[in-house]
Amino acid sequence: MPGYKLYYFNVRGRGELSRLILHCAGVPFEDFRFEGKDWPAIKLNMPFGQVPVLEIDGNKMLAQSHTVARYLARQHGLAGQNDWEQSQADMYVDCIYDMHGTMRTPTWETDPVKQKELFDKVNEETIQPHLEKVEQHIIKNGSGHLVGQGLTWADIAYYAFFTTPIMTRLGGEVFTKAPHLKKLIELVGSNPNIKKYVETRPVTSG
């Protein structure tokens, strides 16, 4: 098995999906977390001056968050069973990427009243319409998962997004029209390896 070292800030952010995939698969790796003050020195050695970066066997480096996560999912049986399932999983993860973008403005808003207004607007105009469609996809798929008959990195990506401090601000009612997705997220969270990691990971702001 290759030796993995994952470089990322000491937050969940764009590195958390890869961490969750590795923990879910039971794969040992060095979770190299660092603070902002250490970034300038580390940045010099990153392929594109960005993180997350996955170092493999001490001599290969892979950049870009979804590229890293997709690679790990494929290497450890979480990408889908065939080309079609892998493409479907990619599609769902890209949806999560889009939703991350919609949350950027409300996340950085400092006025509490304005922030709530922005969160509510994104929830109503973007999150809820998306969840209604995903709910129907899960029902149609019939396995309780987004893709195929078992767990994929797509399921883990939805779990990662909807359990962030940002999304939990919206409360449990966010899943009122998506009970199957809520059940799926709870299922991912009950995975023994993921559960153990979540219970012991560093407490961070996001």
Q: Which long-range contacts (CB under 8 A, 24 or more apart) does 178-183 make?
A: 178/131, 178/132, 178/134, 178/135, 179/135, 180/135, 180/138, 180/139, 180/144, 181/131, 181/134, 181/135, 181/138, 183/144
Active-site residue, 14 included: yes
Q: With bands split at pLDDT 50, 70 and 90, how would you rate the model's confidence at 68?
A: very high
Question: Rounded distance, CA 192 to CA 127, Å?
Answer: 28
Q: With bands split at pLDDT 50, 70 and 90, how would you rate the model's confidence at 134?
A: very high
Q: Give the global pTM.
A: 0.94
Tell me which residue has tokens 């794969």. Answer: 27
* Average of per-residue pLDDT values in the chain: 94
Question: Rounded distance, CA 166 to CA 148, Å?
Answer: 29
* Given the residues 4, 8, 153, 159, the one annotated as active site: 8
* Given the residues 12, 14, 19, 70, the one annotated as active site: 14
Question: Rounded distance, CA 85 to CA 132, Å?
Answer: 21
Residue 2 has pLDDT above 90, yes or no: no
| Per-residue pLDDT reduced to its tens digit, 150-204 | 999 999 999 999 998 877 777 677 899 999 999 999 999 999 999 999 999 998 8
Q: What is the pLDDT of residue 174?
A: 87
Active-site residue, 108 included: yes
